[in-house]
Amino acid sequence: MARCQNRLNMINRRKFIQLSALASTGLATTNFNFPSSKSHILTLSFDDGFKKSFYRIAEIHENYGLSACLNVIATGHMKNFNTEPQWIPREILGNFDDWNALKVRGHEVMPHTWEHLNLTEIPEKKAKKNIDKCLAYFEKHLEGYQASEAVYNFAYNASNTELENFALERVKAVRTGGWLVLKDTMVNTLPINDHHGRLGCWGHGPDFCDNYVEQEVNKFLETEGGWLILNLHGLDKEGWGPVSTKYLDALLKRLVNIEKLAVLPTGVALNKISQE
């Protein structure tokens, strides 16, 4: 009986987290209709899980009534994590207490691999095991996590059809390199069914990418519409290809005033599109 009650309490807590997250950003009551009222969707998809940066990214988004798109490494907080120490030093990464706190505030937290390996460069069996371990860890440690609503974000945006299909049996969508899923464009089409849960994204590094983001966003706004996903990392000097705090703040301040544009996390955008 006690075990059943604990399970019920956990389920109720997860439901509360989900509703709190939606309410805190106004997403529970928003009347956006896609694609009719918004021809352009932009996602700034931040990877890895830099504690200082992610709290600041969340704060800047909140200042403009937006929800941040945050993708974290399942094992980044563990003492044995040492992948890419130049760009992802363990000592500046957050943990699932941080990710749950940001989720409660209304921000989207999604899986960004088990240990940040390029899954196309290791045996397929190990790669699939890494995907399963990552998703299982999120299921256990991220409040309100639902695999059916999740987006799996490949490390290095490196994938292949076999790994994408394997992940798509478990999650709603995968985010990978745009060059792998898009043809002659940087823009994902709407509705999402056109590319079957495969989201193409683009990034720039290792230096600051303020100019790159500005250039690509401006080009995107000149198109007829679609969904542009830019893959970013930390702020200022944190991570590969960071953006400056000052630029991110100025960018969002400008973008929220563009009528045809919605700035949304991947999971939220997918849900809005699927409701059409």
**Ramachandran quadrant class, 156 (left: phi over 0; alpha: psi -120 to 50; beta: rest):** left
pLDDT of residue 196: 63
pLDDT of residue 37: 77
CATH of residue 44: 3.20.20.370
Amino acid at 148: S
What is the spatial distance between Cα 199 and Cα 159, in angstroms, rounded to a whole number?
Answer: 12
Q: pLDDT digit string (tens) for 85-106?
A: 899 999 999 999 999 999 999 9
Q: pLDDT digit string (tens) for 8-52?
A: 344 344 443 443 444 333 333 233 344 457 899 999 999 999 999
Number of domains forming the structure of the chain:
1
- What own/partner pairs with CB < 8 Å and gap ≥ 24 does 243-248 have? 243/208, 243/209, 243/210, 243/213, 244/208, 244/210, 245/56, 245/60, 247/210, 247/213, 247/214, 248/44, 248/57, 248/60
pLDDT of residue 57: 98
pLDDT of residue 193: 52
Q: Residue 44: beta bridge partners?
A: 230
Query: Burial code of 39-75, b = ≥16 C-beta within 10 A, e = fewer?
Result: bbbbbbbbbbbbbebbbbbbebbbeeebbbbbbbbbb
CA distances (Å), origin 31, targets 34, 46, 199: 10, 26, 24
pLDDT of residue 9: 42
Which portions of the chain are predicted below pLDDT 50? 1-35
Helix, strand, coil abundance in the chain, percent, nearest 5: 45, 15, 40
What is the model's pTM? 0.86
Domain residues for 233?
A: 2-274
pLDDT of residue 189: 80
Angle, vertex CA 53, rays to CA 107 and CA 232, nearest 5: 75
> What is the token pair recorded at 154?
């490949």
CB neighbour list of residue 207: distance below 8 Å, 6 or more residues apart:
241
pLDDT of residue 191: 59
What is the spatial distance between Cα 88 and Cα 83, in angstroms, rounded to a whole number?
Answer: 7
pLDDT of residue 192: 53
